[in-house]
Amino acid sequence: MPDSSPSHKPPSQMIRVPTPLIGAVRELSRLHRQGRTSEILQGLEELISTLESSSSSRYNTNSKTLSEIMKRLDKVESNKTDECSSNEIVDAERIDDLEEKVDSIVSRMEQFADAIRQIQNHLNNQQKKKNKSYYNNSSYQRQTPRMKPLAEEGLAKRLSVSLEALRKERIELPAPHFVAWCKRRDTSNIGWEYNQDTGLYHPVI
């Protein structure tokens, strides 16, 4: 009587192969069917060992590279810090230098201001002396017309003309013109007029 129970089959050992490896797996299957299984296994072990070694080497290389990058970053950061410190020192020196220059400029401006004040005071004193001299001269000029009347000989001598010339101008010129004529010749620019009552020449204010 035939056994009606289902036959026991070994579990399937099929695995999914990534698409890029399908061609390689087919080649391994072909070599396996040709009886070269041991060679395939040995080759695979060597390949896996090489890949693992290469992966470890790349890891070490990457780790070393990363370490070098970190060292460089630390160095850059250190240089940046030193540069900032150096810049701060330079800035401080520049500020000190500027402060010295400002102080020097302020000192010079104060000296200029003091010199200007001295010049102003000198000019004011000169102006006062000039005004004083002017007032004195004015006072003298106001007093000079109060001179005593002069006789004909005295006026002719004062005007540096002859008696004949003085008489001629007095007779021919109107009184105002004669006063102007005398004024032009008088050393103190004083006009003179003739008084018939006294027979003298009187200064004209």
The pLDDT assigned to 133 comes to 56
Distance in angstroms (rounded) separating the CA atoms of residues 197 and 205:
19
The structure's pTM equals 0.31
Residue 3's Cα: distance from chain center in Å? 112
For the chain, give the percent of residues with pLDDT over 70: 72
Distance in angstroms (rounded) separating the CA atoms of residues 157 and 150:
10
Does the CA dihedral 180-181-184-185 come out positive or negative? negative
The pLDDT assigned to 86 comes to 66
Mean pLDDT across the stretch 162-179? 94
The pLDDT assigned to 79 comes to 75
Supply the DSSP symbol for 5: S
Strand, coil or helix: 181: helix
pLDDT digit string (tens) for 18-38?
A: 787 778 778 778 888 888 888
Segment among 34-48, 52-66, 120-134 with least mean pLDDT: 52-66
Distance in angstroms (rounded) separating the CA atoms of residues 188 and 144:
8
17-19-24-26 Cα dihedral, nearest 10 degrees: 70
- Measured CA distances, 164 to 129, 153, 172 (Å): 45, 10, 12
Mean pLDDT across the stretch 78-85? 69
On the question of pLDDT at 160 being above 80, the answer is yes
On the question of pLDDT at 109 being above 70, the answer is yes
Q: Which residues of 181-198 are buried (b: 16+ CB within 10 A; e: fewer)?
A: bbeebbeeebbbbbeeee
Q: What is the mean pLDDT of the chain?
A: 78
pLDDT digit string (tens) for 113-159?
A: 878 888 878 887 777 666 665 545 544 444 444 689 999 999 999 99
